[in-house]
Amino acid sequence: MRVGIIGIGQAGGRITDSLLESVEKNVKVSEKVVPFSFAINTAKSDLMGLKRVPKKNRILIGQTTARGHGVGLKRNVSKRIIKQELSSVKREIGTEETYHLDSFLIAIGLGGGTGSGSAPALAEELADTYELPVHVIGVLPS
């Protein structure tokens, strides 16, 4: 199954980075692996800390609202931001080839604001646009 991975928020970005690391270490060169990954965040420093998500696929949202510093656990702010910027996020995701994908996986943390606030709107939009299944994995804080 070929999955497009999108991490939202700090936890989602880290999960995406970890999944990419696992693919790099464990997949044979002969196997066809599609490295489709994005990270979306309201905190610039979280995006900069990623190691494996390509820099061109790191999307900073809410620059006028959060100013690159995150939403401070405010899910309602994140929800508003993603709805305002959904068309530009979709455009960025559309720069990568998606025809080969079987589904999308959105990774988020359930304890923060950006991932848990943004994921529902993005998941719905991806499902409508690409007519593919969209799976969301939410991780509880430790």
From the CB of residue 49, how many other CB atoms can be counted at a distance below 10 Å? 14
φ, ψ of residue 12 in degrees (nearest 5): -60, -40
Q: What is the per-residue pLDDT across 47-94, written as a single tens digit (0 to 9) for each?
A: 999 999 999 999 999 999 999 999 999 999 999 999 999 999 999 999
Q: What's the confidence (pLDDT) of residue 50? A: 98
Supply the CATH classification number for the domain 3-139: 3.40.50.1440
**Whole-angstrom distance, CA of residue 81 vs CA of residue 93:** 17
The structural domains of the chain, with segments of one domain joined by +, span: 3-139
**pLDDT mean over 125-134:** 96
Q: Please, what is the average pLDDT of the chain?
A: 92
Q: What's the confidence (pLDDT) of residue 34? A: 55
CA 54-41-11 angle, to 5 degrees, is 85
Instruction: Assign 111 to helix, strand or coil.
Output: coil
Q: Looking at this protein, which amino acid is placed at residue 11?
A: A
Cβ distance 107 to 6 under 8 Å? yes
pTM assigned to the model? 0.93
Alpha-carbon radius of gyration of the chain:
14
Instruction: Assign 94 to helix, strand or coil.
Output: coil
